[in-house]
Amino acid sequence: MSDVRQHADDIHDQFSDHIDVSVDDVEDRLSTLVDEYKVPMDEARRSVTNHYLEEAGLEREDISSGSSEHVNVEDVDEPEQWIDLTAKVIELWDPRSDSVAQVGLLGDPTGTIKFTKWAKSDLPSLEEGGVYELRNVVTDEYQGRYSVKLNSTTVIEELEEEIEVGDDTSEVEGALVDMQSGSGLIKRCPVEGCTRVLQNGRCSEHGEVEGEFDLRIKAVVDDGIDAHEVIFDKEATEELTGLSLEEAKEMAMDALDTTIVADEIADDIVGTYYRIEGPTFGRYVLADDVSELDGPADAEQLLIKARSM
Amino acid sequence: MSGAELTREVARRVFASEFNDSTYAFKESDDERAPNYALLPTGDRANRVFVVGTLTETEDVGEESEYWRGRVVDPTGTFFVYAGQYQPEAAAALRDTEPPAYAAVVGKPRTYETDDGTVNVSLRPESIAIVDEATRDRWVVETAERTLERVEAFEEWEAEQEPPESGSTAPTNEYAKMARERYDSPVVNYRNDVIQALESIEGTQNPEPTT
Ligand SMILES: [Zn+2]
């Protein structure tokens, strides 16, 4: 497909619900501007889009910016950008609100990002494991975490290809300076697919339930420049602390208090230097590979530098 | 343990000599809940610090209720750590630890004025952990590195300031500027402290072979 044809297709997709126009017609208008008048493609798209906006009696907001750019997941670093993604649906989560049709995690070779699909946008369903071309999605940011929103102008095309999902692995090295609440021996909601952490025996969704014990740590690892939030799941927690879930339960039973587990763990890990590798999810790093930095620190190079300054 | 902050403040690495000179405290906004910062003389702000040193002495200096003071010593000076009823875990750590011991302290700088008008800087701990010598050494090296980075940035900024008529192309370093306005001691002092700190642990790590 020619470049002009591709752009014509995009514009046509934006308007096909609103006015009766053929792709050929759009392509003609574009190629007149681009080929005859040597107008840059951006400007040509803008001009042709405006023409159809007027014809349809629509505002630009009604059809998106009309200049969405194809980007990789790792490049999403600004809210309210109209973009195109080619991504795989890694996970679908339960929507917490009726206004949301689908919510979950998308991934491409460069990383993962949360998506939300509004109920009112009336789009086809995405399936877990499916690979899609998503045109005209809009980026959003909440507390430093980026997501994309599928809206009524979004065009979804299922692709046959398989794509490898990169896990956005990062490496964090620093002192563990804080262990946050919700760490240690916790109880999770047993309702299928829920797994929310209970507060005083209650799930925020399912009320009072018989919880299931689990171990996890939410900690802050800080190198003096950035503070990273790190989550250790049960396996990572057991490995880090040498304390198994069974032992933790016994400890809590003996003390008639579950908080003793968190206290013991905090005593063990706070103030210690670690190197942590693992996938990132928004602002969290999931601890996959953890090593304690207890070897000698090399002062010599730094001393040479300090003396030469 | 604490709940999640909206944006977690980084724990700065700073030696005792510089920490104790950080007498100017400020906020970035008028909002009552806006975080407090101590101005580091090398040109940065610190809402929180992480320090590791030798806990050499603990004392309950409280009158009505327990109020523990700990002296945590690094190669350049002493951090004064105070913990009372609002820091129960840290107070317990000071009560229960038999000095000397290597202690890692996460906490917030606090300034207070003494009767004679001098401003002192102390450390209000969020946590105190007993650690080993390797952790202390790692902290010294890391803190030396962070301090040198600040000194470097300060000196670069300062060098650009020399010709005042040269326009505004100089890199901005808000906190270096603030530090030069507020403090008298030259930044080179802190570089010298870095050298002293590194020499102190280098000696223990690589003992000269005896002949
Ligand atoms: Zn539940």
Structure tokens that stand for B203 in this block: 């000696």
CB-CB neighbors (< 8 A) of B142 in chain A:
223-224, 297
Residue A307 covered by a domain: no
Minimum Cα–Cα distance from A228: chain B residue: B8
Average pLDDT, rounded, for chain A: 87
Residue A300 covered by a domain: no
Predicted pLDDT at B77: 95
Spatial separation of the C-alpha atoms in residues A110 and A167, rounded to whole Å: 7
Chain A interface includes B199 (CB < 8 A): yes
- Cβ contact, residue pair A179, B137, below 8 Å: no
**Cβ neighbours of residue A230 closer than 8 Å, sequence gap 6 or more:** A172, A176, A217, A218, A219, A220, A221, A276, A278, A284, A285, A286, A287
Predicted pLDDT at A247: 97
β-strands A212-222, A111-118 pairing: unpaired
Average pLDDT score over residue span A51-80? 77
The domain total for chain A is 3
Instruction: List Cα–Cα distances, B87 to A261, B13, B20, B51, in angstroms.
Output: 20, 22, 21, 17
Same-domain check for residues A28 and A15: yes
CB A92 within 8 A of CB A126: yes
Average pLDDT score over residue span A240-255? 95
Instruction: List Cα–Cα distances, B68 to B23, B94, B96, B165, in angstroms.
Output: 22, 7, 11, 53
| Range with lowest mean pLDDT among A104-108, A239-243, B85-89, B167-171 | B167-171
Task: Give percent of chain A with pLDDT exceeding 90.
Answer: 43
Domain residues for the domain of A40 are 3-62
Average pLDDT, rounded, for chain B: 89
**Cβ neighbours of residue A23 closer than 8 Å, sequence gap 6 or more:** A5, A8, A9, A12
Q: Under DSSP, is residue A169 helix (H, G, I), strand (E, B) or coil?
A: strand
Same-domain check for residues A177 and A160: no
The CATH number of residue A288's host domain is 2.40.50
Residue A297 covered by a domain: no
- Cβ atoms < 10 Å from Cβ of B183: 18
CB B139 within 8 A of CB B52: yes
Chain A interface includes B141 (CB < 8 A): yes
CB-CB neighbors (< 8 A) of B141 in chain A:
297-299, 302
Is A216 a residue whose pLDDT tops 60? yes
- Cβ atoms < 10 Å from Cβ of A244: 13
Predicted pLDDT at B5: 46
E strands present in A7-99: 69-70, 82-93
Spatial separation of the C-alpha atoms in residues A261 and A247, rounded to whole Å: 10
E strands present in chain B: 11-12, 25-27, 36-40, 44-46, 48-60, 68-74, 77-83, 101-113, 119-130
Residue written as token pair 């400020």: B26
Spatial separation of the C-alpha atoms in residues A108 and A72, rounded to whole Å: 7
Chain A, 221 to 240: residues with Cβ < 8 Å from chain B are 222-227, 229
The CATH number of residue A101's host domain is 2.40.50.140
- Cβ contact, residue pair B7, A144, below 8 Å: yes
Band of pLDDT at residue A163, cut at 50, 70 and 90: confident
CA of A200 to the centre of ligand 1 (A): 13
Same-domain check for residues A248 and A196: yes
Q: What angle do CA B172, B20, B109 make, to 5 degrees?
A: 75
Predicted pLDDT at A153: 81
CA of A105 to the centre of ligand 1 (A): 20
Band of pLDDT at residue B2, cut at 50, 70 and 90: very low
Predicted pLDDT at A60: 66
Same-domain check for residues A191 and A176: yes
* Angular region, A300: left φ>0, alpha ψ -120 to 50, beta rest: alpha
CB A93 within 8 A of CB A104: yes
Is B4 a residue whose pLDDT tops 70? no
Residues A80-95 have pLDDT tens digits of 888 999 999 987 877 7
Residues B136-157 have pLDDT tens digits of 999 999 999 999 999 999 999 9
CB-hemisphere CA count at 13 Å for B23? 13
Average pLDDT score over residue span B3-31? 88
Average pLDDT score over residue span A175-199? 90
Closest alpha carbon to A278 in A148, A122, A146, A173: A173
| Range with lowest mean pLDDT among A60-74, A123-137, A284-298, B117-131 | A60-74
Average pLDDT score over residue span A164-168? 72
What ipTM was assigned to the predicted interfaces of this complex?
0.89
Is A144 a residue whose pLDDT tops 90? no
* Nearest chain A CA: its distance from B23 CA (Å): 20
What is the secondary structure of B58-111 as a DSSP string? EEE--SSS--EEEEEEETTEEEEEEE-TTSHHHHHHHHH--SSEEEEEEEEEEE
Is B196 a residue whose pLDDT tops 80? yes
Same-domain check for residues A185 and A277: yes
Is A53 a residue whose pLDDT tops 50? yes
Handedness of CA A248, A250, A254, A256 (dihedral sign): positive
Across the beta sheet with B25-27, the strand order is B25-27, B36-40, B44-46
CB-CB neighbors (< 8 A) of A144 in chain B:
7
Chain A interface includes B136 (CB < 8 A): no
Q: Which residue has the higher pLDDT, B118 or A16?
A: B118
Of B1, B105, B151, the CB nearest to A179: B1
Spatial separation of the C-alpha atoms in residues B187 and A23, rounded to whole Å: 67
Is B207 a residue whose pLDDT tops 60? no
**Cβ neighbours of residue B170 closer than 8 Å, sequence gap 6 or more:** B157, B160, B161
Residue A231 covered by a domain: yes
Residue A181 covered by a domain: yes
Spatial separation of the C-alpha atoms in residues A77 and A304, rounded to whole Å: 39
Average pLDDT score over residue span A183-199? 87
Predicted pLDDT at B3: 40
Q: What is the DSSP letter of A180?
A: B
Predicted pLDDT at B204: 57
Chain A interface includes B132 (CB < 8 A): yes
Spatial separation of the C-alpha atoms in residues A229 and A57, rounded to whole Å: 49
Average pLDDT score over residue span B2-6? 44
CB-CB neighbors (< 8 A) of A219 in chain B:
none
Closest alpha carbon to A49 in A117, A130, A136, A170: A136
Same-domain check for residues A139 and A45: no
Task: Give percent of chain B with pLDDT exceeding 70.
Answer: 88
Identify the CATH number of the domain defined by range B12-204: 2.40.50.140
Residue extents of the structural domains in chain B: 12-204
Residue written as token pair 């840290």: B90
Same-domain check for residues A175 and A161: no
| Range with lowest mean pLDDT among A5-14, A139-148, B43-52, B188-197 | A139-148
Average pLDDT score over residue span B187-205? 88
